[in-house]
Chain A
């Protein structure tokens, strides 16, 4: 269940871990957080996990990290079950919004010490550089850290753990913009130097999107989309123009939404448009604009959307 990829420069990066989820169900009492969820994450890629609040992102990541036991189904990392399997959990790191930085009475350097003992892959030298870059005070107690410092400490622990499977669940939420940029730079340098499987869940979609090779969208405990970011972006198009012309052009296509301004109509279509479609749109005086990932996300998870032919292509 591992694979190596040859990158553009022809070097063979180290082996990475795959994630496999089969018919996963997770319920808390009567609440079903995840239902019949199946997905696979081939190793060595950076995945963006998107979903509205309550969609099941944190539940999924908690099961992947072995923090929670699945109610039903299978969760495999490197082909092995994760829950109560220390050989696997040592290779997995999940940083949640709270920072996951342990007991409030510990000092920052003690927290880093604990992380070092938990992770065979821990890089102490890198941790020191990161603490410096993010300005986390080593001698302060964790409970006395500001929200931003706490988030930064979580980021430091995640990055320096250097685990083959690394997950951040809104971990950047407390960071200011410069620190989020620093986080992105560090993450890029890390996966650039040695590919690993990274899952980032976020509401800051546009800011984080360029980091993602693949995007997964969860909605009410189910997987709505898993696709390469470029491919997904190419499938969302906004068609704008005179109402009648828009209606003729979009007839038979999968539409996700519609907005009107006087005689001008803007329709969102989901599906691949070919060159002939684009020529046809040009002749009809219609504007075709690619959609931003955030707009696509909003449409794909809109409970009120009137979707025509949600499973099919544009025609």
Chain B
């Protein structure tokens, strides 16, 4: 987003999202409790609960009453799809804007991308 220091609960939600994307948290796996997260980050448990609520609303987590929070089975695929959708807007467009601002021809960027793709193949 725009600001470099978003509220703590959003940072925690992002951390959990990243864990799901990277496979640190697996589908249908139980995540730590709000109190465990709160103690780890030294924040109010209600703040941690807010992060969990946001992730439930987004379909990343689901709750089992009296048991706790779990990773939604389709969360990894859904998150990856969402990340792919925003990739060009989040990553490519700002890069192109920066290149324009400091005078790097787009052709050079394309060349560099092709180079690193070749390195990957090797």
Contacts and interface: CB of A to CB of B under 8 A. Distances in A.
Interface residues of B, number: 30
A11 B4 contact: no
Interface stretch (B16-24, B42-50, B73-81, B104-112): B42-50
Interface string B1-17: 01111011100000000
A289 interface: yes
Interface stretch (A19-27, A76-84, A164-172, A210-218): A210-218
Q: Which 10 A-B pairs have the closest CB atoms?
A: A192-B35, A8-B49, A192-B45, A210-B43, A8-B52, A230-B7, A10-B65, A278-B2, A290-B5, A188-B38
B43 A9 contact: no
B63 to A, nearest CB: 6
Interface residues of A, number: 28
A211 B42 CA distance: 7
A9 B33 contact: yes
Given A9-B63, A10-B66, A233-B7, A181 B46 contact: no
A192 B34 contact: yes
B34 A8 contact: yes
A8 B53 CA distance: 6
Contacts of B5: 289-290
B56 interface: yes
Nearest to B54: A8
Interface of B: 2-5, 7-9, 33-35, 38-39, 41-47, 49-50, 52-53, 56, 63, 65-69
Contacts of B3: 288-290
A211 B52 CA distance: 17
A289 B6 CA distance: 10
A145 interface: no
Contacts of A210: 8, 41-44, 47
Contacts of B63: 8-10
A45 interface: yes
